[in-house]
Amino acid sequence: MIENIWRKGRDFLGVKYPVIAGGMTWISNFELVKAVSDAGAFPVFAGGNMPPEMFEKEVDRLIENIHKPFAVNLITIAPNYKAHFEILKTKKVPFVVFAGNFPKKRDVVEMKESGKKTISFASTESIAKKQISWGIDALILEGSEAGGHIGNVSLIVLLQQVLFNIRDFPIFVAGGIGTGKMMAHLLMMGAYGIQMGTRFVMSEECTAHPNFKKAFVKARARQAIATPQYDSKLPVVGVRALKNKGMENFGKLQLELLTKLQNNEITREKAQFEVENYWVGSLKNAVIDGEVDDGSLMSGQSVGLMDDIKPIKEILEDLKEDAEDELKKIKLELECFC
């Protein structure tokens, strides 16, 4: 039964499971991408704000060693975005995911002209339709339940705003998804597949520091909170992470930057750069060095739905089995109603 309902997603991505392993800076490295690909799902490499020469080296490594479809994440608000963009145009990468903010029309067009399929995010029906008119090949609806940089709208609202109103177009969904049962219902609603991040952090193949994973195992959904924007003078993209000193320090940083803005000691662009620079650094401290008190523990609220670390192959098999069981249960219930 599951084979029929997720075929369109599998065909579009060109993989066994229509499950996207979302691009997570410092986490979605070559090792995780290869492991996800080998297990049959769709991996996304996160280049973050890597120095251009390092980014190019890693992309070449992916092309040489990954023989199934994969994507490279481009962070549109990263200082090195343009350099990454130009590098990627020259590479034989099958998919590109625009993240951080919505891409410009010319970026979508140029990347498609270089022979790549393009994927982006959409937070409203109008934004979705605009990007479709530009030629975007697929969209991801990511609810605010997700981890890392997030939008302001929950997935349950995005489904009604976008998924239910745009049919026969590749739309994947993300944010708060932790079970095959939920995946089954989303597929029945019309989604081509799902994207997960937190679940892949809690995989044996993920190279994140053991302390980082232990924090996820212990965490509950309510502990994955979103950062506030204190003042519109300093626009910041919300970040969802586990509450710790790192989150408190970010609040203090915002107040310091707002004071500097008020005193004309810093430009808004420089202040926003300092905000992004903070998250890149604090995330590295947690993921690479295991500093889980002061570092950033970016996590989705789905962290409360899982408390174990498994091989990726087992994660995917569990998702499929749970989805199939749910579809059978729904079929029986519908037959009873009839």
Tens of pLDDT along 188-197?
A: 999 999 999 9
Strand order in the sheet with 239-242: 148-149, 239-242, 224-226
Q: What is the mean pLDDT of residues 33-54?
A: 96
Look up residue 102 and give its amino acid: F
Distance between CA atoms of 120 and 291, rounded to whole angstroms? 32
pTM score, two decimals? 0.94
Is it the case that residue 14 has pLDDT exceeding 80? yes
The pLDDT value recorded for residue 46 is 96
Q: What is the spatial distance between Cα 58 and Cα 52, in angstroms, rounded to a whole number?
A: 10
The yes-or-no verdict on residue 232 having pLDDT over 90 is no
Q: Which helix (H) or strand (E) holds 140?
A: strand 138-142
pLDDT tens-digit series, residues 93-120 = 999 999 988 999 999 999 999 999 999 9
Please report which confidence band the pLDDT of residue 159 belongs to, taking 50, 70 and 90 as the band edges.
very high
Chain length of the chain: 338
Kindly state the greatest CA–CA separation across the chain: 70
pLDDT of 276 strictly over 90: no
Q: Which tokens in the block code for residue 103? A: 């891409």
pLDDT at 34: 98
| pLDDT for 338 beyond 70 | no
Q: Which tens digit of pLDDT belongs to each residue from 314-324?
A: 999 999 999 99
With pLDDT > 90 as the criterion, what percentage of the chain qualifies? 78
**Contact in structure between 74 and 52 (CB atoms under 8 Å):** no
169 to 114, 132, 179, 192, 253: CA distances (angstroms): 22, 9, 24, 8, 41
Mean per-residue pLDDT, 79-101 = 94
pLDDT in tens, 235-275: 888 889 999 999 899 888 889 999 999 898 999 888 888 88
User: Does residue 311 or residue 3 have the better pLDDT?
Assistant: 311
Helices in the chain by DSSP H: which ranges? 2-5, 7-13, 30-39, 52-65, 81-89, 105-113, 125-134, 155-158, 180-189, 198-201, 210-218, 245-262, 268-287, 312-337
**Stronger pLDDT, 251 or 54, i.e. the higher one:** 54
Q: Is residue 26 within 8 Å of 75, Cβ to Cβ?
A: no
Rounded CA-CA distance 260/263 in Å is 5
Q: Say which CATH superfamily domain 2-208 falls into.
A: Aldolase class I (3.20.20.70)
Binned at pLDDT 50, 70 and 90, residue 82 comes out as very high
CA distance 94 to 166: 25
317 against 48, higher pLDDT: 317
